[in-house]
Chains A and B, each alone.
Chain A
């Protein structure tokens, strides 16, 4: 069985739950996604990030006497979109509730949230962990307002209150405790992040707090009831998320190993020490005195509204992946990989449509293109090789003009932006003729670098004969039944042709000669 061992010694065995020192890890997520509305969830104040303190808070946000909340329809529509994207039930009637507690940055003394009946119910987030398909079930996603910020550092002996963020719309997305490893948890968070940014309901900016994750972590011996969980709050990068959960798992196992029970607690991750530390224990937990907010009637979502939102939605990653499988003959895995973001998907579709070679295009995007993007730390929209250029290159591989290996050399030049003199050209496929300059660039490059495949059978035969004559040992081994000896001969021939021979042609010719 293939296993992967991560830094902290967590063994990931595909196809079964992961055990760490005999413990099963159980993780659930609560994610606060800030919705991309122009104005706040219950007022008309703007939501833009980074304004001067208290310049984006109106009377409603300040909870001045006599003010009342009015629901922002845009926030509801974004919640509906997420529900549709994740196959959830959109509640036809959901209820806003008040969560009561005192804190200086909570102007009303309560947060308007949804408690008993949330707007989005059920659904799942599906993703690949390595080659394995995972599905994390959602419990719910509910609408709520954000609080303001308490600024402790800027004032000596006092706390400043900035209410710009108060009333910013949030969707809190809650999963079942379905994840069994840090890797799975991070993959879930990445997938959710992808979906919310894909459908455009959240800008996904983790540094600015637009996508904040809380991880509920517990461990247990397999088959035992769930262990006591600790909640790691406000994980604002995938890197910290992984470090924090890894640390937390190790810490809990050590505690249990030392005979200490885990106390339910809320913990914070300190990136400087790499440790989690308890903020408050359950004993301090407040009684929030939830009750339906009498200022807001039930949120009624008629089927027509859902239809309207659905009609205006972009194609979802899941749907698009299924279409890629059906239309382009891609595997489920490849289709999922190519729908990691809208940008990658549209790059793939553009190039595939131009050259008619989706599988080759897909392999190139998942291979060379991704590698370069990672290396340069850029997004696919900024890739120096545009879809039409890749399409042309792929066409030249397909029509035998250039070998896959030499195409990588050409790609390297194209990526670095090497310009070559333009010569005459014939489009490799009718659809590609539109991509004139890109085509010229690729063909000229192949020409000027001398990367063209050797398609002259006579010339190739001479090289093959010379190599066979020079390597009687390999020939003997092959004929003696060692098929691997063929590889050595192919290598010699490719070398002799300066890489221009068509490997398939070489193979065929060699077999002919050796088996004659």
Chain B
């Protein structure tokens, strides 16, 4: 054993997989190491469901496969899943009291694909209730704290995933991104995350928030790790998800080493306007300079409807959510009120007790915009603008290969910092929403530190199905810089 178990958590997925393959470390050792860390860092609130027995059984099974000489990109590698993915062996809550203690009879496709690739599940990660939030303050099981500064938010809704990776409680994690829920927490926690093209990863087994926007993706410390995970997560699932794309599984690592000399990076003017904080602007600009040094050309472009993406998203996503969450009615599964007088009262009490404020707010918004007489003015109009936003991107991609800009206007804010103002949270989503509405792949990579020594993320947006290029562009940056290696104090 050349590797001591104390620094296992500093290894990337790629490094750990190699050691496992070489049998220099066992899957059980790795799993125990990370489970111990998860307990030690419990105060971050990143983990929800853990089951040592299940994890160690999976690890033993991986060791048995390793012993037979079996290989697999993730064989024996411990991972953790955002609690929005349903799992057979762990409780699946979606961060909601509504599903407290809920056990799914099946695994999400993403979960089973990663298991087939040999990954060992450490447990389930905290998130905003039903993935609704930008600060992970909407979880029924308490907020997650940012490992860089525990008084700040880790971002959301995949806050538990981002915090766990940043704190080295897991080498990587799954997340979901509806309007920025992978990219923004990755940026706030100084790690790397990618949301693939809509339809790349099956949504089967993801507790639905907004069906036309939800997309799974990995969060890890490097683009290389994201490429490994993404390859395992994606692939067609036509028998279970009708919106799953009929494109074959891809090895996203293949292009990692490609040169980016001559790459045209589009810089949307609308991403660098007044609302962008100076510290974020400085780090992003420095990263763009770095890209120029790597041979890329910066091309000014315009995404003229960037601002409209906020109202459009906050009509479409709640509309879909209001319908998706109707199944939580106390009849078949999940929470049911203990006291009620009749059927209607059962519905009212159950949903009043089971849902948190933000979820209720979005159900009400969604119900309103779909109501008779309002549908045309809100939902239909939003769909029209959504198509225009997608067209704007296609126009932009005639001038550039990838688009770069900030992930969020500011670094992570203080927990409770937005007080009781949901609009402040909504407005902070401005740079991640456009790619979500257009169904485009987007990623976040750490490119510096801003106020309070908090990480800053750079967002890269590609055209449909160009994840391999995005990962290559991020990887070249990480080969030349070491922002992704920085670790929070005390971790």
Contact = CB atoms under 8 A, between A and B. Distances in A.
A62 B106 CA distance: 13
Contact of A100 (B92, B326, B333): B326
Interface stretch (A181-189, A291-299, A321-329, A506-514): A291-299
Nearest to A67: B204
Given A70-B242, A296-B242, A100 B105 contact: no
B201 interface: no
A294 B199 CA distance: 12
B379 interface: yes
Given A65-B104, A68-B242, A110 B371 contact: no
B241 interface: yes
A109 to B, nearest CB: 2
Contact of B243 (A63, A108, A161, A295): A295
Contacts, number: 102
A158 B326 CA distance: 22
A416 B283 CA distance: 99
Given A64-B104, A287-B372, A289-B371, A69 B211 contact: no
A108 B324 CA distance: 8
A104 B208 contact: no
Nearest to B85: A66
B94 A65 contact: yes
B211 A291 contact: no
Given A70-B240, A71-B242, A63 B332 contact: yes
B207 interface: yes
Interface in B291-348: 319-320, 322-323, 325-327, 329, 331-333, 343, 347
Contact of B242 (A65, A98, A108, A297): A297
B241 A161 contact: no
B212 interface: yes
A255 to B, nearest CB: 29
Interface in B86-117: 86, 92, 94, 99, 102, 104-106, 108
A98 B322 CA distance: 12
Nearest to B99: A65
A297 B439 CA distance: 14
A358 to B, nearest CB: 51
A261 interface: no
A444 B92 CA distance: 81
A107 interface: yes
B238 A70 contact: yes
A297 B243 contact: yes
A72 to B, nearest CB: 11
A59 interface: yes
Interface size class of B (residues with CB under 8 A): 35 or more
Contact of B92 (A65, A102, A104, A109): A65
Contacts of A296: 242-243
A275 B367 CA distance: 38
A65 B211 contact: no
A100 B370 contact: yes
Contacts of A65: 86, 92, 94, 99, 102, 104, 207-208, 327, 333
B407 interface: no
A70 B241 CA distance: 6
A313 B304 CA distance: 53
A100 B323 contact: yes
B456 interface: no
Interface string A332-344: 0000000000000
Contacts of B108: 66
Nearest to A62: B332
Contacts of A161: 331-332
Nearest to B98: A65
A102 B323 contact: no
The listed residue with most A CB atoms (<10 A of its CB), out of B106, B319, B331, B367, is: B331
B203 interface: yes
Contact of A109 (B243, B323, B333): B323
A291 B347 contact: no
B284 to A, nearest CB: 33
Interface in B215-245: 238-243
B326 A110 contact: yes
Ranked nearest first, the 6 interchain pairs of A and B with the lowest CB-CB distance are A109-B326, A294-B211, A294-B212, A289-B370, A66-B205, A63-B327
Given A64-B333, A66-B207, 14 more contacts: A65-B207, A66-B108, A66-B205, A66-B206, A67-B204, A68-B240, A68-B242, A100-B323, A107-B327, A110-B326, A289-B371, A290-B375, A294-B211, A294-B243
Interface of A: 59, 62-71, 98, 100, 102, 104, 107-110, 161, 287, 289-291, 293-297
19 contacts: A64-B105, A64-B106, A65-B104, A65-B327, A65-B333, A66-B85, A66-B108, A66-B204, A67-B204, A69-B242, A70-B241, A71-B242, A100-B322, A100-B326, A100-B370, A102-B326, A108-B326, A294-B243, A294-B320
